[in-house]
Amino acid sequence: MSSPAAGAGQPGHARDLPGATRVRVELAERSYDVVVGPGVRAGVASCLPPGARRATVVTQAGIGVEVDPGVPFEVVNIPDGERAKSLATVEEVCRAMARGGMHRSDVVVAVGGGVVTDVAGYAASSYHRGIAVINVPTTLLGQVDAAIGGKTGVNLPEGKNLVGSIWQPLGVFCDTETLASLPAPEWRSGRGEMAKYAFLGVEDLDTLSLEEQVARCAACKAEVVSSDEREGGRRMILNYGHTLAHALEATGLASEDASSPAELRHGEAVGIGLVFAAELARLLGRIGAPRVERHRRVVAGYGLPVELPPGADSATLVGFMARDKKSAGGLSFMLDGEAGVEPVHDVGPDVVYAAIDAIRGER
Cα gap 249→157, rounded to integer Å: 11
- Point out the catalytic residue in the list 129, 203, 338, 363: 129
- Point out the catalytic residue in the list 196, 266, 282, 295: 266
- Point out the catalytic residue in the list 22, 41, 151, 191: 151
235 is catalytic: yes
193 is catalytic: yes
266 is catalytic: yes
**Backbone angle region of 303, left / alpha / beta, with phi > 0 → left and psi within -120 to 50 → alpha:** left
- Point out the catalytic residue in the list 235, 265, 282, 295: 235
Q: Which helix (H) or strand (E) holds 74?
A: strand 73-77
296 is catalytic: no
Nearest in space to 34 (alpha carbons), one of 167, 179, 136, 108: 136
242 is catalytic: yes
- Point out the catalytic residue in the list 54, 191, 246, 295: 246
- Point out the catalytic residue in the list 82, 92, 186, 193: 193
- Point out the catalytic residue in the list 221, 265, 282, 295: 221
- Point out the catalytic residue in the list 92, 231, 249, 256: 231
77 is catalytic: no
- Point out the catalytic residue in the list 135, 155, 161, 239: 239
Distances (CA, A) of 273 to 111, 242, 296, 359: 28, 6, 11, 9
> What is the crossing angle of helices 314-322 and 242-250, to 10°?
110
Cα gap 97→120, rounded to integer Å: 11
246 is catalytic: yes
295 is catalytic: no
Cα gap 301→195, rounded to integer Å: 9
Catalytic residues: 129, 151, 193, 221, 231, 235, 239, 242, 246, 266
